[in-house]
């Protein structure tokens, strides 16, 4: 199988979708820039023309709303926010309009828009270039949220998002752009709402997604060397999320740690934790634990960044705490 990195996989999905479907176009900031989108949109304007690859003014609100309006009127736009923080200027078209449109008109008018954004954490960028706000959007009925963690899923989930017919937030992570993996050349899709089992084990289930997965994978190896078997699940989609896969794993292991590269309070880890406690409490051998970012904005100082962003060692110690706590 051919290997691509994460950015190349996203680019290939764009290119194949643009070629296949004349309704698809891309609009957002940085589309004509050689570096803004980490290669994920590189030279698409040269291939498909600047009428369909539209680098635009810094008007997140109107641009996102224009994508929503184009979707309502028959197109399949992908609107791009190179930094997720800036997407907050477009919350009206996302939350008030796109998310509500189908419901308030009784399912007669769909909004087939993909709203893509990138989490830009790290690199001493600080509070307004680092936010991972996916949980905010999972709160809203009418939005789907996908968070691909591998090149394979980055391509396949973009295809599903464009074809879904409903508003989909596609959230990728700058830290994933150098990850490589197998990516088929054909135009395939990865279903929205289905998780992926990354590792099998009997002692504890770790549920994670997006960049946090890479640290989880390292933790799985470290723990395996210590004789602790971890079942690792990549959710891939946060809304809808694969309850069936998570439940069946937790029923087997009896222990659950949710690892999310976002703030703890009101985060998506809390949603999973609450659902598991509500629905399969009797299968749990110990309380559900979360490994998340602290409830503070991202710092810039490298000394602070080091403790702010968790790594595999934090995950290992959380697992050990859980298992040891229970064994003792």
Partner 1 sequence: MLRIRLFEGTLADLIDAGEVKTPCHLYIGQEAIASGVCAALRPQDTIWGGHRSHGHYLAKGGDLTAMMTEIFGKVTGCSRGRGGSMHIVAPKVGLLGTVPLVAATIPLSVGAGFSCKLRKDGGVAVAFFGDGATEEGHFHESMALASKYGLPVIFVCENNYYASHLSLLERRTKDNISESAGAHGMAGSLIDGNDVLGVYSTAADAVLRARENRGPTLIECRTYRWRGHVGSSWDMDVGVKRRDELKEWLDRDPIPRLRKQMLVEGVPNEWFEGEESAIREEINIALKAAREDPYPSTEEVGAHVFVKGIEG
Residues tagged active-site: 60, 129
Candidates 96-104, 173-181, 224-232, 266-274: pick the segment binding partner 1 (CB under 8 A).
Answer: 96-104
Q: 229: buried, middle or exposed (CB in 10 Å: 19+, 13-18, 0-12)?
A: middle
How near is the Cβ of 131 to partner 1 at its closest, in Å? 21
d(CA 137, CA 168): 10
Say which DSSP state 328 is in: -
> Is 41 exposed, middle or buried (CB count within 10 Å of its CB: 0-12, 13-18, 19+)?
buried
- Is there binding between residue 92 and partner 1 (CB under 8 A)? yes
Strand order, beta sheet including 256-263: 196-199, 230-234, 204-208, 256-263, 289-293
Q: Which of residues 205-244 bind partner 1 (CB under 8 A)?
A: none
Q: Closest approach of Cβ 234 to partner 1, in Å? A: 23
CB proximity list for 3: less than 8 A, separation 6 or greater: 180, 181, 182, 183
Task: Quote the least distance from Cβ 250 to partner 1, whole Å.
Answer: 26
The minimum distance between CB 40 and partner 1, in angstroms, equals: 22
Part in contact with partner 1 (CB under 8 A); list of ranges 130-138, 158-166, 270-278, 281-289: 158-166
Q: Is 86 left (phi over 0), alpha (psi -120 to 50) or beta?
A: alpha
CB of 224 vs partner 1, minimal distance in Å = 40
Does residue 10 interact with partner 1 by CB under 8 A? no
Closest CA to 36 of 56, 15, 61: 56
**By CB under 8 A, what part of segment 112-141 binds partner 1?**
112, 141
Residues 275, 144: Cα–Cα separation, whole Å: 18
- Residue 193 interacts with partner 1 (CB under 8 A): yes or no: no
102 binds partner 1 (CB under 8 A): yes
> In sequence order, what are the residues at sequence separation of 6 or more whose Cβ sits closer than 8 angstroms to the Cβ of residue 16?
159, 187
The yes or no reply on residue 157 touching partner 1 (CB under 8 A) is no
Nearer of residues 68 and 183 to partner 1, judged by Cβ: 68
Among 7, 38, 82, 93, binds partner 1 (CB under 8 A): 93
Contact call for residues 86 and 60 (beta carbons, < 8 A): yes
Distance of CA 246 to the CA centre of its chain: 17
Q: Of the candidates 64, 181, 157, 51, which has an alpha carbon nearest to the alpha carbon of residue 111?
A: 64
> Considering the complex, what minimum distance in angstroms separates the CB of residue 221 from partner 1?
39
Assign 234 to helix, strand or coil: strand
Angle, vertex CA 53, rays to CA 186 and CA 138, nearest 5: 75
Question: Is residue 109 a contact point for partner 1 (CB under 8 A)?
Answer: yes
Interface residues for partner 1 in 13-72 (CB under 8 A)?
A: 25, 27, 51-52, 54, 56-57, 59, 61-63, 65-72
Locus of tokens 């641009």: 63
* CB nearer partner 1, residue 52 or residue 194: 52
164 or 215: CB nearest partner 1: 164
Cα 80 versus chain centre, distance = 14
Residues in binding contact with partner 1, number by CB under 8 A: 46
Nearer to partner 1, 109 or 307 (CB): 109
Contact between 279 and partner 1 by CB under 8 A: the answer reads: no
Separation between Cα atoms, residue 205 and residue 184, nearest integer Å: 29
Nearer of residues 65 and 272 to partner 1, judged by Cβ: 65
Chain positions contacting partner 1, by CB under 8 A: 25, 27, 51-52, 54, 56-57, 59, 61-63, 65-75, 77, 92-93, 96-97, 100-110, 112, 141-142, 144, 163-166
């Amino acid at each position: 199988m051919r290997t691509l990195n994460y950015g190349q996989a996203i680019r290939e999905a764009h290119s194949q979708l643009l070629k296949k479907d004349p309704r698809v176009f891309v609009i957002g900031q940085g589309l004509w820039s050689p570096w803004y989108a980490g290669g994920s949109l590189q030279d698409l304007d040269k291939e498909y023309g600047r009428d369909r690859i539209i680098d635009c003014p810094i008007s997140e609100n109107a641009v996102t709303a224009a994508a929503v309006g184009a979707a309502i009127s028959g197109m399949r736009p992908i609107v791009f926010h190179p930094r997720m923080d800036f997407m907050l200027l477009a919350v009206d078209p996302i939350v008030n309009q796109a998310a509500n449109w189908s419901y308030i008109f009784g399912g007669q008018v769909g909004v087939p828009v993909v709203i893509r954004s990138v989490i830009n954490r790290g690199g001493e960028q600080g509070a307004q270039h680092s936010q991972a706000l996916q949980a905010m959007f999972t709160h809203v009925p009418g939005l789907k949220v996908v968070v691909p963690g591998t090149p394979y899923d980055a391509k396949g989930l973009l295809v599903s998002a464009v074809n879904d017919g409903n508003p989909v937030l596609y959230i990728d992570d700058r830290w994933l752009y150098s990850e490589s993996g197998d990516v088929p050349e054909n135009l395939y899709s990865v279903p929205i709402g289905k998780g992926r089992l990354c590792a099998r084990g009997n002692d504890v289930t770790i549920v994670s997604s997006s960049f946090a997965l890479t640290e989880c994978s390292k933790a799985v190896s470290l723990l395996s060397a210590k004789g602790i078997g971890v079942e690792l699940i990549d959710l891939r989609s946060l809304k809808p999320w694969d309850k069936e896969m998570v439940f069946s794993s937790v029923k087997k292991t009896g222990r659950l740690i949710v690892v999310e590269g976002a703030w703890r309070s009101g985060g998506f880890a809390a949603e999973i934790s609450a659902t598991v406690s509500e629905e399969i409490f009797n299968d749990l051998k110990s309380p559900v634990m979360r490994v998340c970012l602290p409830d503070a904005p991202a710092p810039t100082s490298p000394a602070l960044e080091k403790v702010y962003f968790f790594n595999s060692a934090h995950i290992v110690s959380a697992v050990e705490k859980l298992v040891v706590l229970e064994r003792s």
